[in-house]
């Protein structure tokens, strides 16, 4: 049995009796943590393995403390684990903590100490974020896995078409969902032999994606009936609706529906100085995949197959007056309004009326 030294025993008692603030700098294999007392003195700086067992052993016996860590690939499960063992967990927005991100001295030990000092002074300096629950993350993983297969299929299709064109020939058909070895029948024998395995892999990928589509439909029907509220908007399918619900998870976290557009990075930035007010690009903060899906939904709404509705009329009117890049700006603006509309339907549970605003404006004119 390992003997515990007198110094270590005194240090352990001191840590267990103080009101502590802990900064945890997460790494892929190992992490550093720094423990501060109420006066801001460093009580302990130590490295720990980034595993559930090691973190539970290291933090399980510690008095309830305020633990600060940055967003990252490990932060969701680590924050849940630390909350389970009784600590107050603050997840700092990594892109907003400039004192760490832009520091000239990048060191895991110093980063952990900086996190602890910021959390001790004022947690709001860390721009804290809230991670989704374990169930929501697991369900969202199904959608993300499907997205990975779709990206892989697109890359393989582009590879096959590029190889055929470089040989002076073309693959038949343009629908990636139906890309299979039969598409190579009109090619030369040597090109068919080269592309046959690649096209076979594409066919297999499409089958796996179809299985994911069915799983997503079942998941939405059985566990998330609110998706039906969002699908009232033509251009919003099960994939967009379910991703929207799982990414936001709690609709009450936003004081106003209009805040959702900013949260998803669809709001233009502002830099007003004196008489200067330049037009800036959208912030692109928040979840990039959901933002992509909302833009795709906006493209459908404004496209040739979009049904007549207030959102379509507003977007087309905006595109007409926007100049050379008016259509692109209109699509982004429509995606932002679509996010606001979906949140409003989710919170209120109302029946969606596509021409609600148009009917209201027509009533006074008729009177």
CA distances from 91 to 22, 126, 133, 179, 261 (A): 12, 8, 14, 44, 22
Q: Are 333 and 315 in contact (CB under 8 A)?
A: yes
- What is the pLDDT at residue 276? 57
Q: Of 65-74, 265-274, 306-315, 358-367, where does mean pLDDT reach its minimum?
A: 358-367
For the chain, the 3-state helix, strand and coil shares in percent, each to the nearest 5, are: 55, 10, 35
- For the cut 80, the answer to whether the pLDDT of residue 250 exceeds it is yes
Question: How much is the average pLDDT of 194-215?
Answer: 93
Residue 8, token pair as written in the block: 């270590």
- What is the pLDDT at residue 323? 73
- For the cut 70, the answer to whether the pLDDT of residue 96 exceeds it is yes
- For the cut 70, the answer to whether the pLDDT of residue 296 exceeds it is yes
Q: How confident is the model at residue 267 (pLDDT cuts 50, 70, 90)?
A: confident
CATH of 11-129, one of 3.40.718.10, 1.25.40.10, 3.40.50.170, 3.30.420.140: 3.30.420.140
pLDDT per position as a tens digit, 130-172: 888 999 999 999 999 999 999 999 999 999 989 999 989 888 7
Angstrom distance (rounded) from CA 43 to CA 28: 25
pLDDT per position as a tens digit, 321-344: 877 788 888 999 999 999 999 999
- What is the pLDDT at residue 13? 47
Angstrom distance (rounded) from CA 229 to CA 342: 8
Q: How confident is the model at residue 279 (pLDDT cuts 50, 70, 90)?
A: low
- What is the pLDDT at residue 321? 83
Angstrom distance (rounded) from CA 306 to CA 47: 56
Residue 34 parent element (H or E): strand 30-36
CA distances from 332 to 178, 288, 312 (A): 30, 13, 13
- What is the pLDDT at residue 282? 77
Sign of CA pseudo-dihedral 101, 77, 108, 85: positive
Question: How much is the average pLDDT of 6-31?
Answer: 71
- For the cut 80, the answer to whether the pLDDT of residue 16 exceeds it is no
- pTM for the structure as a whole: 0.83
pLDDT per position as a tens digit, 61-93: 899 999 999 999 999 999 999 999 999 999 998
- Phi and psi at 43, nearest 5°, equal -95, -35
- What is the pLDDT at residue 325? 81
Q: How confident is the model at residue 278 (pLDDT cuts 50, 70, 90)?
A: low
- For the cut 70, the answer to whether the pLDDT of residue 5 exceeds it is no
- For the cut 90, the answer to whether the pLDDT of residue 42 exceeds it is yes
pLDDT per position as a tens digit, 303-326: 999 999 999 999 999 998 877 788
């Amino acid at each position: 049995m390992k003997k515990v030294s007198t110094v270590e025993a005194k240090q352990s008692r001191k840590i267990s009796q103080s009101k502590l603030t802990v900064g945890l700098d997460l790494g892929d294999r190992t992490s550093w943590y720094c423990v501060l007392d109420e006066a801001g003195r460093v009580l302990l700086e130590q490295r720990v393995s980034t595993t559930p067992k090691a973190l539970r052993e290291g933090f399980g016996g510690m008095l309830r403390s305020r633990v600060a860590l940055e967003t990252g690939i490990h932060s969701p499960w680590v924050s849940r684990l630390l909350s389970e063992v009784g600590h107050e967990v603050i997840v700092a927005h990594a892109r907003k903590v400039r004192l760490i991100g832009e520091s000239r001295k990048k060191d895991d030990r110093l980063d952990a100490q900086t996190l602890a000092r910021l959390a001790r002074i004022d947690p709001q300096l860390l721009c804290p974020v809230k991670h989704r629950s374990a169930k929501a993350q697991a369900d969202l993983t199904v959608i993300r896995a499907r997205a990975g297969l779709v990206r892989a299929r697109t890359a393989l299709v582009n590879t096959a078409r590029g190889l055929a064109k470089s040989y002076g020939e073309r693959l038949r058909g343009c629908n990636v969902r139906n890309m299979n070895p039969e598409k190579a029948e009109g090619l030369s024998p040597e090109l068919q032999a080269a592309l046959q395995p690649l096209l076979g892999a594409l066919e297999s990928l499409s089958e796996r994606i179809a299985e994911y589509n069915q799983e997503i439909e079942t998941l939405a029907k059985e566990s998330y009936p609110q998706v039906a509220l969002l699908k009232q908007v033509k251009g919003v399918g099960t994939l967009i609706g379910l991703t929207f619900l799982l990414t936001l998870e709690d609709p009450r976290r936003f004081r106003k529906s209009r805040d959702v557009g900013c949260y998803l990075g669809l709001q233009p930035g502002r830099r007003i100085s004196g008489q200067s007010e330049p037009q800036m690009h959208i912030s692109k903060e928040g979840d990039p995949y959901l933002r992509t899906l909302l833009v795709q939904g906006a493209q459908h709404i404004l496209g040739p197959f979009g049904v007549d509705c207030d959102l379509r009329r507003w977007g087309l009117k905006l595109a007409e007056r926007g100049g050379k890049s008016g259509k692109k700006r209109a699509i982004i603006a429509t995606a932002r309004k679509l996010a606001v509309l979906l949140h409003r339907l989710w919170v209120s549970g109302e029946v969606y009326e596509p021409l609600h605003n148009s009917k209201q404006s027509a009533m006074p004119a008729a009177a």
